[in-house]
Amino acid sequence: KAGVTQTPRYLIKTRGQQVTLSCSPISGHRSVSWYQQTPGQGLQFLFEYFSETQRNKGNFPGRFSGRQFSNSRSEMNVSTLELGDSALYLCASSLEGRTGVDTEAFFGQGTRLTVV
C-alpha cells in the first residue's frame, strides 16, 4: 500500500511569488491535513480537508489556502511569499479524521520550501 506522497520534495521561491504544493493521500483515506514545521514555531496545524471541504483551520493568514479534489488529493497554496514562510510543509492523511473512526494520521515526507 503506497504511503502519503508529497511533491515536490524541495522548492526555492522568491519573495512575493506564490507556490502550490501537492499531497496524494493513502488510497481510501478521505481526510488530508497540512502542517508547517519551522525551527522557531515547531509543528503547526494549517488546515484539514475532508470530502473537498475545509473542515478545520489553524491560525494562519489568508495567504495560506488549500483545496481537495474528488480523488482526495489535496493542494496547498501560499501567495505573496515571505521569508518567514520558509519551512517544511507536511501533509497527513487519515481515514476520516474523526475520533472513534480512526485515530492515526500518516505523514508524507514533506516539501521543503525555501523563500529567498
Contacting positions for other proteins (CB under 8 A): 4, 6, 31, 33, 35, 42-43, 45, 48, 50, 55-56, 58, 90, 92, 94, 97-99, 101-110, 112
Cβ proximity to other proteins, 85 vs 93, nearer residue: 93
Cβ proximity to other proteins, 6 vs 19, nearer residue: 6
Cβ proximity to other proteins, 60 vs 106, nearer residue: 106
Using DSSP, state whether 83 is helix, strand or coil: helix
Quickly count helices (H) and strands (E) in the chain: 0, 11
Minimum separation from the CB atom of position 32 to other proteins (A) = 8
Minimum separation from the CB atom of position 86 to other proteins (A) = 15
26-to-11, 62, 96, 100, 116 alpha-carbon distances in Å: 23, 28, 12, 19, 32
Cβ proximity to other proteins, 55 vs 79, nearer residue: 55
Task: Please list the helix, strand and coil fractions of the chain in percent, rounded to the nearest 5, in that order.
Answer: 5, 50, 45
Which residues, in sequence order, are CB contacts of 40 under 8 Å at separation 6+? none
Grid cell digits, residue 64: 495560506
Minimum separation from the CB atom of position 80 to other proteins (A) = 26
Minimum separation from the CB atom of position 12 to other proteins (A) = 16
